[in-house]
Amino acid sequence: MTAANAYPGYRAARMRWLPHVPEHWNEQRAKTFFREVDERSKTGQEELLSVSHLTGVTPRSQKNVTMFKAASYVGSKLCQPGDIVINTLWAWMAALGASRHLGIVSPAYGVYRPHRADSFNPAYLDYLLRTRAYVAEYIGRSTGIRSSRLRLYPNQFLDIALLQPPRPEQDQIVAYLRAQDAHVARLIKAKRDLIGLLAEQKLRVIDHAVTRGLDASVALRPSGIEWLGDVPLHWEVQRLKNVANVVLGKMLTTEAKSGDGEFKPYLRSTNVQWIKPDVRDVKEMWIAKSEMAQLRVRKGDLLVSEGGEVGRACMWNEELPECYIQNSVHRVATKSKMLPEFLFHQFFAYGKRGRFNAIVNRVSIAHLTREKLVTVPFTVPPVEEQKAICKWIDDECKPLEDAIQRAEEEIKLIREYRDRQIADVVTGQVDVRGWVPGPDEVVAEEDLAALGGDEEIDTDGEEDDGDD
């Protein structure tokens, strides 16, 4: 901050995490401006809204993520434009925002309506409430027995001090930040486009290697499967049940049962991500001793998602000392004629090419049942050839993966720059009252689409499970 772009006078802020703020800005507890409302949908037909840590409150139809679809949304909470919506369980990750839409949200969420509609520009609040200073305040005021299950209750939110610049300044701040966001979104889109090209190149490398092998002159034969095409003459094509043992996890059991058993960590579909499992949020369930041997995952097992993005798979490399599976996950343990690494490469190619989609059961969301999964055909080269193919894939894909990682790190740095810029402007560290938009700084909603996307966490599937 320099004298040229600072406000002329500052004062100490009431909220401990904030820097000094412009002396003419108002600052009052949220309850001065908002009240909690609990209006419910009688039809469930209103637009379903999603709450994201990146994009705030937006229509669920705009999200490229898969989640459980309820049979009915009757009883969901209604929200109006200008309302603040907070995912009580994910406020600590900034899953909240000011809505610009009339719609419905989870009944577990908090909805807060302004006493006066003109108190805030909703977009200004959207920026302000997801700054690190405010997120730190949510964490400090939330309660729960562990950090990943903290809840921000209404009385605590309404006690937080909100910064309120004069309304014309709010509008100017929003216009300025939207123009900057458009520049950021273009940078992120360019990086994502590059990642997409690199990922497609990696997929072509893997797909060709696991279906044709490394010898371009090898004799081929029809596989008998339309989408698989010709395969090397000396390779087998076998259903999964012939090359691996497949176990679907057990129904979630949250209460202790009679007999021998213990509460054990378990993996669900959201833990199964491509390449490696995400074990940052692993819950526990009751497992009988008689079930443990079958449900326990072991080094080299493949974990396969049963629902959501069906066929999404990863290899277990003992990321936790002990872990089991719930019935949204298959455990696939290969037999002697199939290397787990080679089978994983085939799952990766099948999943990314959409080959599982033709065989899944669909009701409201897709399900890859065990009965369907064990019938999926896979190529089976001799084991030594599998080893050679896996090594070749690793060597060929390493520079592509490194380039993808660099681009992802660059996106992360761009986002960090954006977060810092937003925080400086919405807390008055930078004075933008004199900013005049250029001819290329008229921003449409579609210009900002890249601000969401692949990094978004699906918080809408996380509701109160009563464990705290």
Q: Provide the pLDDT confidence category of residue 363 given band limits of 50, 70 and 90.
A: low
pLDDT at 359: 77
201 pLDDT higher than 90: yes
pLDDT at 468: 38
Out of 222-231, 281-290, 443-452, least confident range? 443-452
Of 122, 217, 189, 109, the residue nearest 153 (C-alpha)? 109
99 pLDDT higher than 60: yes
183 pLDDT higher than 60: yes
Q: What is the pLDDT of residues 450-459, one digit of tens each?
A: 676 655 555 5
To the nearest whole number, what is the mean pLDDT of the chain?
90
Strands 10-11 and 34-37: what pairing? unpaired
C-alpha–C-alpha distance, residues 460 and 52, integer Å: 8
CA 209, chain centre distance (Å): 30
Residues near 208 by Cβ (< 8 Å), separated by ≥ 6? none
C-alpha–C-alpha distance, residues 29 and 15, integer Å: 10
Amino acid at 168: P
pLDDT at 462: 47
pLDDT at 463: 47
pLDDT at 362: 55
Out of 254-263, 315-324, 393-402, least confident range? 254-263
Query: Mean pLDDT over residues 77-91, rounded?
Result: 93
Query: Mean pLDDT over residues 374-384, rounded?
Result: 97
Q: What is the pLDDT of residues 127-143, one digit of tens each?
A: 999 999 999 999 999 99
Residue-range domains of the chain with CATH: 3-189+408-451 (3.90.220.20), 236-380 (3.90.220.20)
Q: What is the pLDDT of residues 42-64, one digit of tens each?
A: 999 899 998 988 788 999 887 65
> The pTM is what?
0.83
